[in-house]
């Protein structure tokens, strides 16, 4: 699996992007990955690795590294992910 080693840019983490990531994780909604890709593009993200992963990755489970990075970067310091 390929993942980014640097944080996502703060300007990409819009309220729409965060809400989509939260919903994808909470509902295991793999059908929303394309919508998340569009929302990230609307926020200025042109990272092809991110978009390729969200649009074409055949082995998504209930979540993915892009969703987890969004949620990790927007979680208040000192808090854990739900279920941790």
Is position 4 within any domain?
no
- Supply the range of the domain harboring residue 56: 10-74
Q: Mean pLDDT throughout 13-38?
A: 94
Report how many domains make up the chain. 1
For residue 51, being part of any structural domain is answered with yes
| pLDDT tens-digit series, residues 44-59 | 999 999 999 999 987 7
Within a domain: 19: yes
Q: What is the pTM of this model?
A: 0.83
CA distances from 10 to 18, 38, 83 (A): 11, 17, 25
For 3, the token pair is 């993942």
Closest by alpha carbon to 73, among 63, 62, 65, 84? 65
Q: Looking at the predicted structure, is the pLDDT value of residue 40 above 50?
A: yes
Do the domain assignments include residue 5?
no
Q: Is residue 30 part of a domain?
A: yes
Answer yes or no: is 2 within a domain. Answer: no
């Amino acid at each position: 699996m390929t993942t980014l080693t640097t944080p996502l840019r703060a300007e990409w983490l819009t309220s729409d992007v965060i809400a989509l990531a939260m919903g994808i994780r909470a509902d295991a909604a793999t059908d929303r990955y394309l919508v998340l890709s569009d929302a990230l593009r609307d926020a200025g993200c042109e990272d092809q690795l991110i978009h390729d992963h969200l649009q074409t990755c055949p082995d998504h489970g209930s979540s993915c590294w892009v969703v987890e990075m969004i949620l990790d970067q927007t979680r208040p310091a000192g808090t854990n992910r739900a279920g941790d």
